[in-house]
Structure 1
Amino acid sequence: MAGTAGTPGTPRVLRAMNDRAALDLLLEHGQLSRTRIGKLTGLSKPTASQLLARLEAAGLVLATGTTEGRPGPNAQLYEVNPAAGYAAGLDVTPERILAAVADITGRTVGR
């Protein structure tokens, strides 16, 4: 069915793929600037700016500061918002029950 959501190559699918690629890079590298995300993904600066705006509006990334000590203007840095999501795990055996909660970055926030 052409034109429906989920069709490969549609602008919606490509945006989702780009957003996911940026989130993966932020999880892997930590704080990154728009320019660095653009270089690592191969996206243009305007496209990187648009995807960061989408991710920030969705609460998935946070602007966390700026670069310093380089020539030119300081670049805004972004990182994954740890509070954007949580996962819980249970280990249940006849002897015990263990539970842990991690934020979206994988950091354990409770046991």
Structure 2
Amino acid sequence: MAGTTGTPPGGAGTPGTPRVLRAMNDRAALDLLLEHGPLSRTRIGKLTGLSKPTASQLLARLEAAGLVLATGTSEGRPGPNAQLYAVNPAAAYAAGLDVTPRRI
């Protein structure tokens, strides 16, 4: 029954719910990966202001959804190499349609 759990019929959640916050964090991470290229979990956390565990959880969600891929590791820094993540190029498609009064 819609509304009994605070979720509207479309299932998108209401502002401030954990579901909406997760979606916003996931989108922010995807935007950063598109803008900067491959990033580590730590770097995504710093750029978004999210904790390391939260950044790990969102990357796990995005990876499970096929939206990001582990692409290698960072090198040249002291300490262990960090796993890098990038947007999965096979996860996005675009289409165009030329619509005029006489044809499509």
Query: What TM-score comes out, normalization by structure 1 length?
Result: 0.76
**Superposed CA offset, 1:46-94 (max 9, x none):** 0000000000000000000000111000000000001002011144679
Contact 1:34 1:48 in 2 (8 A): yes
Instruction: Report SS of the residue matched to 1:89.
Output: coil
1:5 aligns with 2:12: no
Partner of residue 35, structure 1? 42
> Percentage identity across aligned positions?
95
Contact 1:62 1:78 in 2 (8 A): yes
Counterpart-to-counterpart distance in 1, 2:43 and 2:70: 14
Partner of residue 21, structure 1? 28
Pair 5,20 (structure 1): closer, same or farther in 2 beyond 3 Å? farther
Unaligned regions of 5+ residues in structure 1, if any?
Answer: 95-111
- Which residue of 37, 42, 51 corresponds with 1:44? 51
**Superposed CA offset, 1:10-54 (max 9, x none):** 000000000000000000001000000000000000000000000
Contact 1:3 1:10 in 2 (8 A): no
Unaligned regions of 5+ residues in structure 2, if any?
Answer: 7-13
Contact 1:5 1:12 in 2 (8 A): no
Q: Which has the higher contact order (CA 8 A, sep 6+)?
A: 2
Instruction: Report SS of the residue matched to 1:63.
Output: strand
- Which residue of 47, 55, 63 corresponds with 2:62? 55
Aligned residues: 94
Partner of residue 77, structure 1? 84
In the TM superposition, structure 1's runs of 4+ consecutive aligned residues that sit over 2 Å from their partners are 1-6, 90-94
Deviates more, 1:29-38 or 1:84-93: 84-93
Contact 1:61 1:81 in 2 (8 A): yes
* C-alpha RMSD of matched pairs (Å): 2.5
Query: What TM-score comes out, normalization by structure 2 length?
Result: 0.81
Instruction: Report SS of the residue matched to 1:36.
Output: helix
